[in-house]
Amino acid sequence: MDVVDSKTRSRIMASIRGKNTKPELVVRKALHRRGFRFRLHAKDVPGRPDLVFRKFNAVVFVHGCFWHRHEGCRHATVPATRTEYWTSKFERNVARDDEVRTRLIGAGWRVATVWECALRKAEHVDVAIQMLASWLAAGGKEIVIEERRMADLLARSGLELSDPET
């Protein structure tokens, strides 16, 4: 079980509890700059997704890895104290996310999940946004953008840049 100190924890908690968190703002600004228009936390869409793109029938969630329990992610730590409290809270969050996702897909929405860890490094942000933009315009039902795929994606985008003919 990973443990973080209280200072780190309060920083993490501050960044992931509410809406309009920094990772969410990063995604919003970057997509807006690319000409995408969207609504925020639309009340009439299941789960009130962070961003709603009606034109593309798509929603985007920007999930904190800690709060939403990004599976296998090093940022999904468990606090050292009140472990049972946190565990049950986490379980509710995961159950809620699953339910929301099922409802959205059932209602015909396309669902993107951007995990916060994918946005931690500046060089990853561009790749993540590029992925998201392509998916919005021409992608499938679902996409998950996360840190552990970034090395692959960076390599691939580098390849495309250096060798556009293939």
Binding site for Zn ion (CB under 5 A): 65, 70, 73, 75, 115, 117
Nearer to Zn ion, 117 or 150 (CB): 117
50 contacts 18 by C-beta, under 8 angstroms? no
Q: 53 vs 115, which CB is nearer to Zn ion?
A: 115
CA 84 to chain centre: 26
CA-based R_g, the chain, Å: 17
16/52 with CB nearer Zn ion: 16
Q: Which residue has the tokens 């556009």?
A: 164
Taking the complex as a whole, how short is the minimal distance between the CB of residue 113 and Zn ion, in angstroms? Answer: 10
| Shortest Cβ 13–Zn ion spacing (Å) | 16
> In the complex with Zn ion, which residue's Cβ is closer, 42 or 77?
77
Q: Minimum distance between the CB of residue 2 and Zn ion, rounded to whole angstroms?
A: 12
The nearest distance, CB 115 to Zn ion, in angstroms, is 4
Q: Closest Cα to residue 49, out of 95, 101, 91?
A: 101
Residue 66 CB burial class (10 angstroms; 0-12, 13-18, ≥19): buried
